Structure formats: structure tokens, C-alpha cells
Amino acid sequence: MTTLFGGLGRPVAVRTAAVLTLGLAAVALLFSSPARAATSACNDPVTSVPSGPATVSAASTEFGRVLVVGSGADAGCSLYLLTSDQLHSLTGANFACGDTSLLGGTPCDTILWPALLTDGAPIAGPGVNPTLLGTVTRTDVLAGGEPVQQVTYAGLPLYRFHFDEEPGETEGANVFDPVTSPTGTWYRVNASRGGPAPGQAELQLETAPAPGLGPETVLAATMDNDFTTVAPDGVAFPVYTLSSDSGHESACQGLCALDWQPVLTWQRPEAGAGVDQHALGIIVRPDRTHQVTYDGQPLYLFYKDAWIPGRVGTPGINGAGAQGPLDGIFNTIPSLP
């Protein structure tokens, strides 16, 4: 069911430093929207150390039971994790959303995705597992390198999103973000066990250019579903299979899964026009997330395919033929005639 595009043969590599910087004009476009309120609690930037401990609570949503800010002016605001922040625990590298991850000079962790800070041990509100709450000391959030404590859940830092203006908004859910360094995906946070709460995955067909081959129509995953300021209907990104996956298991773990991010779902994935619903399935990864499969083969997103319409990058199929673990090859799934 897959098509092999030869000639690339690139080894999988995780970027630890490539920082994407855009012009101020691009920032103005990204931050401007007629529907956006002038100010609100949920998208207030981080400017100082809080005066007390943060409270984290849980709320029932279409993503399942997920984390929200539990008290104060931000109560009810959506909380997110970034998959590529795992690089910090795996290698000791800087967090992917930091003051060096810039959009036209705008820092990721204070304005774009304000870090959830606390003064003292965070408090577990209703529905939150207190054993999963923790903190990490960061010196890349406030000006001057002042040490602050950011709240973590199951080891991953928690953030709000600049475009969530009111409690209950989820513009940051499932955003495949090319601005963070390295590229990662923003998810709501599962309240019971931590980790991503992706909601229901959607698979569709998408036509995009492949280097040296021209436009190709391939199976794609819909992401950025609620990011209405730049993508009212979501963005479709090509998905890939790995030839060394076997027995409905993924050979792409650890650092590999940062470059080749598993396509995740909370429940049975939904098939769009031209996609066989019966071919879609699920496997459970070692971290207990549910990865989407097609004809039994786990599906992945490639970090170099991430883009934001009209703002950052362009669509493309950039990972076909790349080398993966155990001498495997990553390939797209072409549409059938």
C-alpha cells in the first residue's frame, strides 16, 4: 500500500538548536484577527513570578478529561503540553518552547504559549492526580534569567495559548508547530495519566508537492483543527508508514518519535472522503497513547512537513524515502485510483 520514493535516504536526526525567526510583518499578520479581543485572562503574557501556588483542575471536553487552570484570573483556561519538550528529559537540551524559540522576536514561553508558573508546590484540583503534578526550574522565561518554577504534569511543562481568549477555547489543540525548536505538536493534557489528549483523529486525502516528483495525492492527517485564526478548517499533513514496523508495533520510539511524531487519537479515527474507514485502526504505544494505523501499519508525521498557512513554511512531502530505525524506510500512502 505504500510507494517508495528513492534518492533521499536521510538518517533520522533531532534538531536541538535550529531556531526559526521571521520578520515583524509576519508576526503582525499572525497576531491580527478581527475576532480577537483586545485582552483577556487566558491569553495574558507571563511578566512576573506569581504570588502563590498554581492550582490545576480537570474538565470534561471532547478531548476527554483534560487539564485546565484551576484558580485565579486564568481559572478554566486550557492547558497544553508540547511533545518536543521531551527532548529536555531525553538529552538535557533546552525546552522546545523557550525565549530562544522566536516568532519575529516574540518569545514562545511568555507571549505565544505563556508558561504556567507557580510559587510553591502546585495544588491538585478536582480530577487531577496529585502524584503527577510537579515543577521544573527555568531561567529562560523571565527577563534577566530570574529562576522560576513551571508546573509540570507527568514530567512535561504546562502552557496556555495566546489565541485562547476565554475559558473553554482550544485554539492550541493539536497544533503541529514549526516555530518551536525542535518542531513539536501541542496537545491538551490527559488528566488521568498525563500525556497528550488528542481527541479523535481525522484522516483525509491531500495533494502536496514531493521534491523531484511534483504533486502527489497521499493519505494525510488533519491537525490544527481549532486554530481558526490561520486555518479555519484545519491543515492536512502527509502521513508516513515505516517499513521496519512489524506485528502492529512501532519501531520508532524515543528520539525517533520526535522527528517522526505518531499520529495520535483518543478514539477510533475518522475517515474522510476517499479514505477506507475499515483500513483505519489503533495500536497502543508503550507510553499508553493510541497511535493511528492504516492496514495495520502505524502512521507518523514528519517534522519538516509542519507549516502554518500564510505564515510559516509551505505544504510539502519532505520525508518520503527517509531512513528510519532497524533499516526501515518511511513512505507515504498514495491514494488509490
Tell whether the model's pLDDT for residue 79 goes beyond 80. Answer: yes
Q: Kind of pairing, strands 202-210 and 270-271?
A: parallel
Domain limit, last residue, from 197, 226, 241: 197
Does residue 327 register a pLDDT over 70? yes
Find the mean pLDDT for residues 203-209.
95
Q: What is the structure's pLDDT at 52?
A: 95
User: Are 48 and 176 members of one domain?
Assistant: yes
Q: Is 188 helix (H, G, I), strand (E, B) or coil?
A: strand
Q: Compute the distance between CA of residue 103 and CA of residue 19 in angstroms, rounded to an integer.
A: 9
The model's pTM is 0.87
- What confidence score (pLDDT) does residue 41 get? 78
Considering its fold, how many domains does the chain have in total? 2
State the average pLDDT over residues 140-167. Answer: 94
Name the band, by pLDDT with cuts 50, 70 and 90, for residue 336. Answer: low
Record the cell numbers describing residue 289, joined without a space: 497513547
- My answer on whether 112 and 148 are in the same domain is yes
Does residue 15 fall inside a structural domain? no
d(CA 79, CA 98) in angstroms, rounded, equals 17
Last residue of a domain, one of 197, 218, 246: 197
Same domain, 228 and 309: yes
Domain that holds residue 192: 39-197
Helix (H, G, I), strand (E, B) or coil at 131: helix
Q: What's the confidence (pLDDT) of residue 104?
A: 63
With residue 249 as reference, give the H or E element that holds it.
none
Within this chain, do residues 208 and 175 fall inside the same structural domain, yes or no? no
Q: Say whether both 107 and 174 belong to one domain.
A: yes
Local confidence band at 37 (pLDDT 50, 70, 90 cut-offs): very low
The DSSP H or E segment spanning 25 is helix 24-31
Dihedral pair phi/psi, residue 326, rounded to 5°: 55, 35
Is the bond leading into 238 cis (omega within 30 degrees of zero)? no
